[in-house]
Amino acid sequence: MSAPPDVPVAPAPPAPPSRLPPVQPPVMPSVPPVVSSGIGEALRLPGLALTIVAVLLLGFVAQLGLLSQLGHERAQELAFDEFRVQLADGTAPIGQLNADDELWPLGTAMAVLEIPALDLHEVVFEGTTSSVLQDGPGHRRDTVLPGQAGTSVILARQATYGGPFGRLDLLQPGEPFTVTTGQGAHTYHVTGVRREGDPQPPPLAADGGRLTLVTAGGDPFRPDDVLRVDAELVSDPVPTPSRPFRSADLPEQEQAMKGEPGGWVPVMLWAQGIAVAAVGVAWATVRWGKAQAWTVGVPLLGGLGIGLADAVAVLLPNLM
């Protein structure tokens, strides 16, 4: 028997391709760390300090130049509403003492001054300290009230906090104006404008009345003189109650061009708050970044600067 023919053997299937090795990321050349030269670090702190000072100065200027005007207008509005009610009720002040025989507190509304030539309508408060004059004109406490026999004196600011007497030097002799107190409306005529060194007005008659309006002289925010406008009472004088408070009792801080020494305490408190806020802004600049830190820091420091300016204004001359 013959052997069977050879059967061809099928070739083995090709082996599956082996898994490719993972692709390694290209090796980047190492970059040496940037070493600060020290100049940027040295300038960072002074730059931050100057920025903080600029923000504080902005708040200071905003307070004395704009916001103080708004505060003055608001104080006048509230005081006039209250004084009008007192006039209607017959309880407005007519002398130095109240119903309890005590001196009226500083800042009490005493009168309304109206000068048509200056378009001026202001509530007059008791006292002439720098803080009282932030709200409006002040009656010097050792003088009679307007409308009474004798000399009455009213002080007011020239430029800051509304600058009620900023145009006082424009008044001409003969200009009429009125002052309303708890004893009625009283009419005055201007007799003259005088500065330091000018002659004093003549003595008053026994039943005569005079009103002297006082403010700072010179350029706004840079006073170098005291300006006075004298006016003669042309309406009938009204009775003058007893006056136990005399010129010798008037504190120096209520004299013209004086500040309040006690105002240093609020200034120091505001300054401490600013110091804490400045440290906080510096810390936030490092932790958060400049943009985030100043988004929070500018309003904060600006508000503190406004508060500091208001406190410093009490230390400055009361007629500025």
Q: What is the residue-wise DSSP string for 222-276?
A: EEEEEEEEEEEE-SPPB--------GGGS-GGGSTT---GGGHHHHHHHHHHHHH
pLDDT for 290 equals: 80
36-50 pLDDT, tens digit per residue, is: 445 555 446 566 677
pLDDT band at residue 52, thresholds of 50, 70 and 90?
confident
The answer on pLDDT for 113 being more than 80 is: yes
In a domain, 127, yes or no: yes
In a domain, 283, yes or no: no
Q: What is the pTM of this model?
A: 0.79
Give the total number of structural domains in the chain: 1
pLDDT for 5 equals: 58
pLDDT for 155 equals: 99
Angle (CA) 257-244-80 rounded to 5° is 60
Segments forming the whole domain that contains residue 192: 92-258
58-93 pLDDT, tens digit per residue, is: 777 777 778 889 999 999 999 999 999 999 999 999
In a domain, 17, yes or no: no
pLDDT for 63 equals: 77
pLDDT for 276 equals: 87
The answer on pLDDT for 30 being more than 70 is: no
Instruction: Give 186-205 as a DSSP string.
Output: EEEEEEEEE-TTSPPPPPPP
Comparison of pLDDT for 318 and 42, the residue scoring more: 318
In a domain, 188, yes or no: yes
Torsion region of 52: left, alpha or beta (phi above 0 gives left; psi -120 to 50 gives alpha):
alpha
List all residues 6 or more positions away from 220 whose beta carbon is below 8 Å from its beta carbon: 158, 159, 163, 166
Q: Mean pLDDT throughout 280-298?
A: 83
In a domain, 185, yes or no: yes
Q: Mean pLDDT throughout 97-120?
A: 96
In a domain, 306, yes or no: no
pLDDT for 8 equals: 58
Residues of the chain with pLDDT > 90: what percent? 58
The three-state secondary structure class of 315 is helix
186-196 pLDDT, tens digit per residue, is: 999 999 999 98
pLDDT for 138 equals: 98
- Picking from 277, 143, 163, the residue whose alpha carbon sits closest to that of residue 216 is 163
CATH code at position 115: 2.40.260.10
Torsion region of 90: left, alpha or beta (phi above 0 gives left; psi -120 to 50 gives alpha):
left
198-253 pLDDT, tens digit per residue, is: 999 999 998 999 999 999 999 988 898 999 999 999 999 999 999 999 999 999 99
In a domain, 146, yes or no: yes
Residues of the chain with pLDDT > 70: what percent? 85
Tell me the pLDDT of the chain averaged across its residues.
Answer: 87
Q: Mean pLDDT throughout 6-24?
A: 58
Q: Give the Å distances, CA to CA, from 156 to 63, 129, 159, 183, 230.
A: 18, 10, 9, 22, 14
In a domain, 304, yes or no: no
